[in-house]
Structure 1
Amino acid sequence: MDFIKSAVASAMAAQGPSFPYSFGDKVDIDASIWTLYNGTRRADGSNCSIFSFDVAANKSRLPLAKNALKKLRTMRHPGVIKVLDAVETDSYIYIATERVVPLRWHVKRKSLSPETIKWGLYSIARTVKFINEEGSSIHGSLRVASIYTSESGEWKLGGFEVLSNVKDDEAIIYTYGSLVPDSTRFAPPELARSGWDAIKKSPHSAVDSYNFGTTIYEVFNGDFMGASEAGQTKGIPPTMHAGYKRLVNTNPKARITVGVFLEQGRRSGGFFDSPLIKLTEGIDNLGVKSEEERAEILDDLDQLTDDFPEDFFKMKVLPELLKSVEFGGGGPKAFGVVMKIAAKLTNDDFEARVQPVVVRLFGNPDRAIRVCLLDNLPSMIDRLPQKVVNDKIFPHMASGFTDLAPIVREQTLKSVLVVIHKLSDRIINGELLKYLAKTANDEQPGIRTNTTICLGKIAKNLGSSNRAKVLIAAFTRSLRDPFVHARNAALMALAATGEFFTEEECATRILPVVCPSLIDKEKLVREQANKTMDIYLQRIRKAAASMPDSALPPSQTADGAAPRMSTPQSTSEASSWAGWAISSFTNKLSAASGEMQTSSNGVPAASPSPGPEPKRVASSTSSASALHRQAVKSPSPTPLSRNSTMSAPDAYFKDPSPIESNEFASDAWGDMGDMNDDDAGDAWGEPSDSAAAVNDDAWSTPTITTTSSKPAKKTTPAVSSQSFDDGTKPDFAGWLAAQAQKKTPGGAAKPLPKGLAKSSAKKPLASRSASASAKTTVAKTIDMKPKDTGGDDDGWGDGW
């Protein structure tokens, strides 16, 4: 049926004068001479409402419809329904207005809060006061049915069917007042007794005062059923009781006017003294108001609770506040209210009304605005599209990382956690990490600490290719920060991000830098360091438990040759840090055979072909081993004896295990050719100038002769006829010296291990030999004690 009526109305509009509006759905209203439709403007599709009057169906009430059209066109007030266009023919009257909804809908659903009702009544009271006083008129049919709410939530007054000027003796209210639907139910007592002419005998405002009182009762309690309910205070706020009773007084001359009621409510502490009402009076043109007025209005806004009328704030307050923030100096305080209102907006409304302004505000250089934006970013980030954040917001936001004001840098850093899920991988692993690297070196310790925390929280968002590298570099650096909370934050971040590191990184890169924190001067750091260490140690132990016992290939004993390198065989030897590390050499000397030969430069070399084992030669102290006898028979200069200078590594083997005779494999030490004794001495450092002879029962005590006139320079060893026992350790120093002289494929000398090479420049070999032969030999006693290095352990540590 509604569809048919709408179609008929559209056809009628097409046949009559031009009416540039389209009819929509019919709206349910109270008993009225009008039929209300939702409509749209054809030109731009904007919303409107259309009041339609069918002349044929309501011919007796045609004067009421014509009077309403006339008064709506001439009555200009913010509290009156705004007319957009109207068409009047012999068949119909159409009035297009702003989109409105009957107030009755809200009253029936009880969707209005007490503060919103007060705000609405205040608006209607102002409008009725204007009609009665400035307009010298009587509304005549004031009730909930004649009040509508606009799209902004404001209450608008309609129902002008009998609105009349009291100066007009032929006013329509006297003749047609009784034709208004439900007029009897809402008529004041004097009219019910004497008819509408009784208006002339009483103050002209008496009718509207009484009807305003019944409207108060309706909005708080529902339908007003008749004069018997007038004066009942059920549901009405206590502060309004006195004024309400005087409005509905049965004596029209004793009633107060709506204007008086309005003034009573606006007094300090009155029922109309509320932040919401103050806001509606001052919100228009907020940007052009003085700073004091603007501050007062914003203070009232801050006091508002969540029960404010959403539509009014969306349509009226929000645009004014946004203009004030962007152009009128409203500042952060106004923007805070904007965010409070925006929380109740739909996503479409937010995108259309708030988002464009937010994007422009991020480009504003005002620091206060920037900090306010960053503070409110959590409440709006979910409504901002990712493209907008990446392309329009983050480029402006990033300038805060390098701002001179620490508060801007800190708030920008904290906001990273808010926007991280909206940023692209390119920005996160590119621009963002560059900015975080700067804040990690910030002069403010709090910003450095927060950077570490931020990196720990966004670790999962970093690219897997460089995540571990970035985190380890950042956290290990923070561990050296002089600020205690920065160090503690680094330890906590390492504990929280352990899943992103491999076991090898945990063992080799993280634990070594965490260990110093175990003895940090601050207990807070020490305790956290222990917790972090436990986490990583548990992980490493778990990984180590799944590893094989050894990564070495299986022993190959097919040809009877023992492996060159092996681990200590006995438990005691393995547990001793001073035990031999190269057990295959000491345990397999019996495999060595053949005669030792001397190369042209004086360094002993292995015989190319094994020969028969020479006979043992008796010694006064012990029998010499085959290896020693072969060395003695060699025509080369005598090698260094036990009393020669010991190198740094040699000093750690004070009690070597005896070496069984004939068990030294010559090839196990590598090629020992191309190196003379002089170079071997140079490789381990020069002997001490003052030395005491070392007596050792296991070693013979040969004397060393030198041809140098300078005590601390090169020595030329002489062959001693004394033999030494076979139970000594191998000539480790000689072997290292031989290794240093081995030639690389390119012909260069193979360098000694780090920490063992001599720093002083060497003379050429030929020059040294010539110089040595031209000088007399001087017996010299060699100090066996290790040199004092000043307590620095790094030398040998680096070497090993």
Structure 2
Amino acid sequence: MDFLKSAVASAIAKSSSFPYTIGDRIDSNESIWNLCNGTKKARDDGSAVCVFSFDINANRSRLPLAKNAIRKLRTLRHPGVIKTVDVIETEATIYLVTERVTPLSWHVKRKSLSPETIKWGLHSIATTLKFINGDASSVHGAVRVASIFANEAGEWKLGGFEVLSSLNEDDAVIYNYGTLLPDANRYAPPEVAANGWSVIKKHPLTAADAYGLGTLVYEAFNGVFHGTDQLTQPKSIPGSIAPSYKRLINANPKVRLSPAHFLEQGKKAGSFLQTPLINITESADNLGLMNHEERDDFLQELDKLSDDFPEDFFKSKILPELLKSVEFGGGGPSVVSAIMKISIKMTDDEFEARLTPVLLRLFQMPDRQIRVALLDHLPLMIDRMSQKDINGKVWPAMTTGFTDTAPVIREQTVKAVLVVITKLADRTINGELLRFLAKTANDEQPGIRTNTTICLGKIARNLGVGSRAKVLIAAFTRSLRDPFVHARMAALMALNATLDVFSEDDCAAKLLPVLVQSLVDKEKIVRDQANKTFDTYLARVRKYAATLPETAIPPETANNPSAAPARIGNQNDSSWAGWAISSFTNKLTTAKGEMQSAAPTNGTANHAQSLPPSGRATPTVQVHRPASAAPPAAKVAPANSSTNIMDDTADFDNDDDVLDAWGEMDEEEDNFFDAPAAKSSKSKTGPSATSTPTAAYDDGGEPDFAGWLAAQSKAKTVGKAAPKGLTKAATNTTNTSKLAPRPAAPGRSASAGVVAAPKAKVQAVKKDVLKPKVEKADDDDWGAAWD
């Protein structure tokens, strides 16, 4: 019959008319109630609840205890008492629906409570007992771990009102049914265990609950309680609490410390109940009404908390008050820090639902202190926000910081780029972000310039491949010239860290040259770092150069067997002063006789060139003198004179002329090897340039040694007039299209280095022209020799 009634009760609980869905059972048979999790059904709000059920047929003797608990919970309201949501009674079962809680015994047995959390809980229970004993003039009678529950905020709530009674009642439940409680003898005070519950009339009202509070202190810190004999050894109870604890469990009920006095002892300055967690709990509800000083004190207490604070309490109680304070009450940056500290304990779903909307609104606020606090704590929130929110709301708000007038905002914004870079779109990174960083790289504040360089070095691999090298080279080379020493150091370190993002050509042509300048920096720390970075880049370039072929010119010897191989200088001369190229070895057999200086004519000394006049191999050095400074006519040297072409150094006695010559070479450095033929032909002067058109001659880029040797052969006999047509022949054989002589100075020959015939003799003679035999050299041999 009892089984049938239980089945009917279960069917009622599962029927559509029952407003709650009952879930898993969570108690441990330490009470007259069966405790299960539950939820309101879908047509309501679906909130989580707990359902205490009492089976009337199975525990009919304890039915007065269940009815007393329901009656007292309906009439007794206090923040420390478990909150009653609903009561449903049927013929077979009584359902007590409360807020969602968990038995404290779970945490005690697992020893998962920190000492600070236990103190916080004891403070709450003692405060509730003070209210029951004082304001309600009642005795709880069942203070123990099994009567206490923790709600979703982690707060300790007092339940177990089965024997709660007012001593003003003659037929109080505690007198008649106190012994029916589970484990009544184990938790009963010594006087009750000896004489029954009626003896409490003779003692102070608070004596029974004070003893129960003492057993709670022992069990909470030690994890288990078997009987009165254990209470004399505090074991894990902190020393600061031990004296008050011993007074709670005193065998004489008249000298026991009441819960109210226990609170008073604990709240003294520096005592065991003066903890940050307890102070925060007492002030949290009034956070929105606090002034700045009170709020600062509250937040200082919050900062003192260790990581083992009850996270549920802060998420449910403290966090909503902090959010309201920072958004509407002017809480300031310290409140933001407190919010982010609590957020560490939140799940991603909780963060998105409760914090993300508020944080997005805070980013839109113009308050600089709030912005700095948000940027400082950006690492804690960036991975919990969606990429859509970051690109659509957070980043647009952050961009205002790049151009803010306050340097601290600009600097913090640059630092925050490292945190947000992984969430930004590629288009934003390579467009808007680089434009802002280009501005901060030239900021008036050296620290911002330095941090921009560091930022670019760390986000280098997030930049687009097409523009990455160009942007970084421009930024780092500019920072190497920064007058701020740490900016130069940052550039060198960034270059060292981003070696792999540059090509070998960039390393050799663009970065190594600027690194060389840093090797002689005025600051030693910069020079030391420059040496490390330079060695790194040089090692990479050398490694790459070792993989290159010996030449990039394809071999053509097989196609042209008659081509003379090029010879690199003197094969026996390994010094740097050897001739660069000598590809005309087989042509020198045509030049016979002794080399002599050319004979002067018309009282003017014409000096023979000591170097080939070609515009490609060696530039012609022209010496210009004004007409008034022309040297007197030199004497004619005899044929066998020891005077040679070294006598020409007399023309370079003027130091200014030498410097001018080097200056001309420096100006023409860029196009030294690629001088166009048209440029030379336009600068021709003298009779040979005007009387006879110069024929284009392709010498394959080789120096015109043949023309030079022919000129020296004609000057073999000193003092004799040159044969007719010799000057023209020499002019025609010389590659005049490569580099023409400059206009002659007054009193000198029109062509420098070539012996000119007297003006009366200069005629175009087409027959019997002496031409030295010139063999055509292969074009590729010239190029190969330079390689």
TM-score range (shorter-chain normalised) is: 0.7 to 0.9
Secondary structure in structure 1 of the residue aligned to 2:175: helix
Deviation at 1:151, TM superposition (A): 0.9
Cα-to-partner distance string for 1:562-619 (whole Å, 9 max, x where unaligned)? 58x96744347885569476x5579748899xxxxxxxxxxxxxxxxxxxxxxx9x99
Deviation at 1:734, TM superposition (A): 11
What is the distance in 2 between the residues matched to 1:347 and 1:757?
83
Q: Is 2:606–2:748's contact at 8 Å kept on the other side of the alignment?
A: no
Per the alignment, residue 72 of structure 1 pairs with 73
Residues 782 and 337 (structure 1), Cα distance of their counterparts in 2 relative to 1, 3 Å cut: same
Secondary structure in structure 2 of the residue aligned to 1:239: coil
Cα-to-partner distance string for 1:375-420 (whole Å, 9 max, x where unaligned)? 2223333333333333332222222222222122222212222222
Note the 1:418-433 alignment, pairs <5 A: 418-433=419-434
Per the alignment, residue 13 of structure 1 pairs with 13
More displaced stretch, 312-321 vs 437-446: 312-321
Per the alignment, residue 792 of structure 1 pairs with none
What is the distance in 2 between the residues matched to 1:587 and 1:724?
19
Cα-to-partner distance string for 1:657-708 (whole Å, 9 max, x where unaligned)? 7x9xxxx9xxx99xxxxxxxxxx99x9897644233696745999xxxxxxx
Letter of the structure 1 residue corresponding to residue 30 of structure 2: A
Q: Are 2:611 and 1:656 aligned? A: yes
Note the 1:658-673 alignment, pairs <5 A: none
Note the 1:540-555 alignment, pairs <5 A: 540-555=541-556
What is the distance in 2 between the residues matched to 1:620 and 1:84?
124
Letter of the structure 2 residue corresponding to residue 257 of structure 1: S
Deviation at 1:193, TM superposition (A): 2.8
Deviation at 1:642, TM superposition (A): 7.5
Cα-to-partner distance string for 1:476-532 (whole Å, 9 max, x where unaligned)? 111221222222222222222222222222221112222222222222222222222
Note the 1:456-535 alignment, pairs <5 A: 456-535=457-536
Per the alignment, residue 451 of structure 1 pairs with 452
Per the alignment, residue 712 of structure 2 pairs with 725
Per the alignment, residue 329 of structure 2 pairs with 328
What is the distance in 2 between the residues matched to 1:173 and 1:684?
127
TM-score by length of 1: 0.75
Deviation at 1:189, TM superposition (A): 2.3
Secondary structure in structure 2 of the residue aligned to 1:87: strand
Secondary structure in structure 1 of the residue aligned to 2:23: strand
Q: Is 1:691–1:782's contact at 8 Å kept on the other side of the alignment?
A: no
Note the 1:517-666 alignment, pairs <5 A: 517-555=518-556, 568-571=568-571, 579=579, 583-584=582-583, 588=587, 643=606, 655-656=610-611
Per the alignment, residue 25 of structure 1 pairs with 24
Note the 1:97-112 alignment, pairs <5 A: 97-112=98-113
Secondary structure in structure 1 of the residue aligned to 2:536: helix
Letter of the structure 1 residue corresponding to residue 378 of structure 2: L
Structure 1's unaligned 5+ residue stretches are 593-615, 633-637, 645-652, 670-679, 702-712, 742-755, 759-771, 786-800
What is the distance in 2 between the residues matched to 1:547 and 1:501?
18
Cα-to-partner distance string for 1:717-769 (whole Å, 9 max, x where unaligned)? 699xxx9633899989997864589xxxxxxxxxxxxxx999xxxxxxxxxxx
Q: Is 1:22–1:39's contact at 8 Å kept on the other side of the alignment?
A: yes
Q: Is 1:19–1:87's contact at 8 Å kept on the other side of the alignment?
A: no
Residues 559 and 385 (structure 1), Cα distance of their counterparts in 2 relative to 1, 3 Å cut: closer
Q: Is 1:693–1:782's contact at 8 Å kept on the other side of the alignment?
A: no
Per the alignment, residue 119 of structure 1 pairs with 120
Letter of the structure 1 residue corresponding to residue 331 of structure 2: G
Secondary structure in structure 2 of the residue aligned to 1:119: helix
Residues 557 and 575 (structure 1), Cα distance of their counterparts in 2 relative to 1, 3 Å cut: farther
What is the distance in 1 between the residues matched to 2:560 and 2:243?
120
What is the distance in 1 between the residues matched to 2:340 and 2:297?
19
Letter of the structure 1 residue corresponding to residue 171 of structure 2: E
Per the alignment, residue 630 of structure 2 pairs with 691
Residues 305 and 727 (structure 1), Cα distance of their counterparts in 2 relative to 1, 3 Å cut: farther
Q: Is 1:186–1:214's contact at 8 Å kept on the other side of the alignment?
A: yes
What is the distance in 1 between the residues matched to 2:514 and 2:494?
14
Per the alignment, residue 401 of structure 1 pairs with 402
Secondary structure in structure 1 of the residue aligned to 2:22: strand
TM-score by length of 2: 0.76
Letter of the structure 1 residue corresponding to residue 32 of structure 2: I
Q: Is 2:597–2:644's contact at 8 Å kept on the other side of the alignment?
A: no
Q: Are 2:245 and 1:258 aligned? A: no
What is the distance in 2 between the residues matched to 1:520 and 1:546?
33
What is the distance in 2 between the residues matched to 1:620 and 1:168?
145
Secondary structure in structure 2 of the residue aligned to 1:449: helix
Residues 619 and 224 (structure 1), Cα distance of their counterparts in 2 relative to 1, 3 Å cut: closer
Deviation at 1:323, TM superposition (A): 2.3
Per the alignment, residue 385 of structure 1 pairs with 386
Residues 179 and 555 (structure 1), Cα distance of their counterparts in 2 relative to 1, 3 Å cut: closer
Residues 439 and 732 (structure 1), Cα distance of their counterparts in 2 relative to 1, 3 Å cut: farther
Letter of the structure 1 residue corresponding to residue 712 of structure 2: D
Cα-to-partner distance string for 1:188-212 (whole Å, 9 max, x where unaligned)? 2222233222222222222111211
- Percent identity of the aligned residues? 55
What is the distance in 1 between the residues matched to 2:735 and 2:249?
118
Q: Is 2:268–2:274's contact at 8 Å kept on the other side of the alignment?
A: yes
Residues 33 and 622 (structure 1), Cα distance of their counterparts in 2 relative to 1, 3 Å cut: closer
Residues 620 and 294 (structure 1), Cα distance of their counterparts in 2 relative to 1, 3 Å cut: closer
What is the distance in 1 between the residues matched to 2:25 and 2:231?
33
Q: Are 2:154 and 1:153 aligned? A: yes
Q: Is 1:122–1:272's contact at 8 Å kept on the other side of the alignment?
A: yes
Cα-to-partner distance string for 1:452-487 (whole Å, 9 max, x where unaligned)? 222122222222111111111111111221222222
Per the alignment, residue 165 of structure 2 pairs with 164
Per the alignment, residue 312 of structure 1 pairs with 313
Q: Are 2:234 and 1:247 aligned? A: no
Letter of the structure 1 residue corresponding to residue 379 of structure 2: P
Residues 65 and 735 (structure 1), Cα distance of their counterparts in 2 relative to 1, 3 Å cut: farther
Letter of the structure 1 residue corresponding to residue 631 of structure 2: A
Per the alignment, residue 36 of structure 1 pairs with 35
Deviation at 1:448, TM superposition (A): 1.2
Cα-to-partner distance string for 1:5-55 (whole Å, 9 max, x where unaligned)? 998655123669x54211000112343211111001112322110011122
Secondary structure in structure 2 of the residue aligned to 1:124: helix
Letter of the structure 2 residue corresponding to residue 340 of structure 1: K
- Which structure's relative contact order is higher, taking Cα pairs within 8 Å and 6+ residues apart? 2
Deviation at 1:445, TM superposition (A): 1.2
What is the distance in 1 between the residues matched to 2:386 and 2:5?
44
Residues 718 and 376 (structure 1), Cα distance of their counterparts in 2 relative to 1, 3 Å cut: closer
Deviation at 1:643, TM superposition (A): 3.5
Residues 322 and 496 (structure 1), Cα distance of their counterparts in 2 relative to 1, 3 Å cut: same
Per the alignment, residue 141 of structure 2 pairs with 140
Per the alignment, residue 648 of structure 1 pairs with none
What is the distance in 1 between the residues matched to 2:373 and 2:465?
34
What is the RMSD computed on CA atoms of the aligned residues?
A: 4.2
What is the distance in 1 between the residues matched to 2:623 and 2:54?
119
More displaced stretch, 50-59 vs 524-533: 524-533
Residues 555 and 692 (structure 1), Cα distance of their counterparts in 2 relative to 1, 3 Å cut: farther
Residues 779 and 208 (structure 1), Cα distance of their counterparts in 2 relative to 1, 3 Å cut: closer
Deviation at 1:278, TM superposition (A): 0.5
What is the distance in 2 between the residues matched to 1:621 and 1:219?
118
Q: Are 2:200 and 1:173 aligned? A: no
Residues 344 and 552 (structure 1), Cα distance of their counterparts in 2 relative to 1, 3 Å cut: same
What is the distance in 1 between the residues matched to 2:364 and 2:6?
50
Letter of the structure 1 residue corresponding to residue 713 of structure 2: D
Structure 2's unaligned 5+ residue stretches are 635-642, 649-682, 690-709, 716-726, 754-787
More displaced stretch, 230-239 vs 98-107: 230-239
Letter of the structure 2 residue corresponding to residue 463 of structure 1: G
What is the distance in 1 between the residues matched to 2:536 and 2:526?
15
What is the distance in 1 between the residues matched to 2:142 and 2:556?
113
